[in-house]
């Protein structure tokens, strides 16, 4: 399986939102582009809220991998507590799920995605890469759930190279 394939279900929304910040060091941010904001359903005046949500998510995904937050953020729980969700029941089989409120704001869609990930056991496997110059979101598909990098080939290899150089020096 491609290690970079998207996170399962609605968590793909969370993953792609976190990864709109292309480069944490240069600040290259695809939320600067109107068509990307449209894709996420972010209104012109809500882009700063979306960025705040994105960094709170990133800090939470770092915590899933046992890392401290990358910077000071508004706690994710505080943001999600403002997201209206309702219990949707499927009349055919009686199954139920938390669904975003009819306003379908980014915040409530993210909250519903988190709820879905909690229900199906995928939430804790959505993590942020431990490399300081990366911190991309990725879905940890390692059997033991102890993956550390968004990509073994990129960030994993660079970390090994740094350790090797440190030993040499
Ligand atoms: Zn990485």
Give pLDDT tens digits along the chain (169 positions): 445 689 999 999 999 999 999 999 999 999 999 999 999 999 999 999 999 999 999 999 999 999 999 999 999 999 999 998 999 999 999 999 999 988 789 999 999 999 999 999 999 999 999 999 999 999 999 999 999 999 888 899 988 888 888 887 6
Distance 156 CA to ligand 1 centre (A): 7
- Which residues is 137 bridged to in the sheet? 128
DSSP E strands: which ranges in 28-123?
Answer: 28-29, 85-89, 96-100
pTM for the full predicted model: 0.92
DSSP E strands: which ranges in 53-156?
Answer: 85-89, 96-100, 126-128, 137-139
> How many domains, in total, are found in the chain?
1
Distance 67 CA to ligand 1 centre (A): 14
In a domain, 147, yes or no: yes
For residue 99, what are its two tokens?
A: 């669904």
In a domain, 82, yes or no: no
Contact between residue 57 and residue 110 where contact means Cβ atoms under 8 Å apart = yes
Distance 155 CA to ligand 1 centre (A): 5
In a domain, 29, yes or no: yes
- Which residues have their alpha-adjacent CB atom under 5 A from ion ligand 1? 129, 131, 134, 136, 150, 155
Closest to 29 in 3D by CA, of 44, 50, 10 = 50
Contact between residue 121 and residue 108 where contact means Cβ atoms under 8 Å apart = no
In a domain, 108, yes or no: no
Distance 158 CA to ligand 1 centre (A): 9
pLDDT at 49: 97
Q: Which domain holds residue 19?
A: 11-76+126-168
In a domain, 115, yes or no: no
In a domain, 160, yes or no: yes
pLDDT at 115: 96
In a domain, 121, yes or no: no
In a domain, 83, yes or no: no
């Amino acid at each position: 399986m491609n290690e970079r394939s998207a996170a399962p279900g609605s968590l793909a929304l969370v993953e792609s939102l976190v990864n709109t910040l292309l480069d944490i060091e240069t600040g290259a941010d695809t939320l600067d582009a109107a068509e990307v904001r449209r894709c996420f359903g972010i209104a012109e005046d809500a882009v700063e809220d979306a960025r705040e949500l994105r960094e709170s998510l990133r800090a939470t995904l770092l915590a899933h991998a046992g890392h401290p937050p990358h910077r000071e953020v508004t706690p994710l729980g505080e943001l999600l507590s403002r997201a209206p969700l309702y219990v949707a029941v499927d009349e055919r089989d009686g199954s139920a799920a938390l669904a975003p409120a009819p306003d379908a704001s980014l915040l409530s869609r993210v909250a519903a995605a988190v709820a879905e990930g909690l229900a199906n056991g995928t939430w804790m496997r959505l993590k942020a890469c431990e490399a300081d110059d990366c911190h991309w979101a990725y879905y940890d598909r390692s059997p033991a759930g102890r993956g550390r990098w968004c990509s073994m080939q990129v960030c994993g290899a660079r970390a090994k190279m740094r350790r090797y150089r440190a030993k040499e020096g």
